[in-house]
């Protein structure tokens, strides 16, 4: 069953960590919307999601909080509690949508098969 999709634009994996706030989610959404990572006419990364009119698929991904410093089994204790994680995830997506891009989401906490066609070598980690 298809939950969300986007055409040209961004796949955004969101992980809320303990201590994260709605203000931080808002700041990250604004940063994502304005981040100049799409090619302009000269082929330089100089256009934002807002400039291109692209969309965004926002997917919750608590496993980005994986702590692999010891042993062979990752720990996720630094991830936000699921209730807060879902609130911040939804707030991020709503804030991004309010800035202009068409935003679709995955299903929080679900086991999803996510497909990506990556057009270019750009993967960026953002945090406050």
Question: Quick check: is 38 catalytic?
Answer: no
pTM for the structure as a whole:
0.91
User: CB of 126 within 8 A of CB of 28?
Assistant: yes
Catalytic residue among 61, 87, 90, 108: 61
Question: Quick check: is 92 catalytic?
Answer: no
Selection from 128, 2, 1, 126 nearest residue 64 by Cα: 126
Question: Quick check: is 90 catalytic?
Answer: no
Written as six digits, the tokens of 72 are 């062979």
Q: 49-61: per-residue pLDDT in tens? A: 999 999 999 999 9
Q: What percent of the chain has pLDDT over 90?
A: 72
Domains and CATH numbers, the chain: 9-105 (3.50.80.10)
Question: Under DSSP, is residue 121 helix (H, G, I), strand (E, B) or coil?
Answer: coil
Question: Does residue 5 register a pLDDT over 80?
Answer: no
Which strand (E) or helix (H) includes residue 10? strand 9-14
């Amino acid at each position: 069953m298809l939950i969300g999709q986007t055409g040209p634009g961004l796949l955004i994996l969101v992980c809320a960590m303990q201590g994260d706030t709605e203000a931080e989610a808002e700041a990250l959404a604004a940063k994502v919307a304005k981040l100049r990572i799409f090619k302009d006419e000269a082929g330089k990364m100089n256009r934002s999601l807002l400039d291109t009119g692209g969309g965004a698929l926002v997917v919750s991904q608590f496993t980005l909080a994986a702590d692999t410093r010891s042993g062979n089994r990752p720990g996720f204790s630094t991830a936000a509690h699921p209730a807060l994680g879902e609130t911040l995830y939804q707030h991020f997506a709503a804030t991004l949508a309010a800035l202009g891009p068409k935003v679709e989401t995955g299903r929080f906490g679900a086991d999803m098969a996510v497909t990506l066609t990556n057009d270019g070598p750009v993967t960026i980690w953002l945090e406050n």
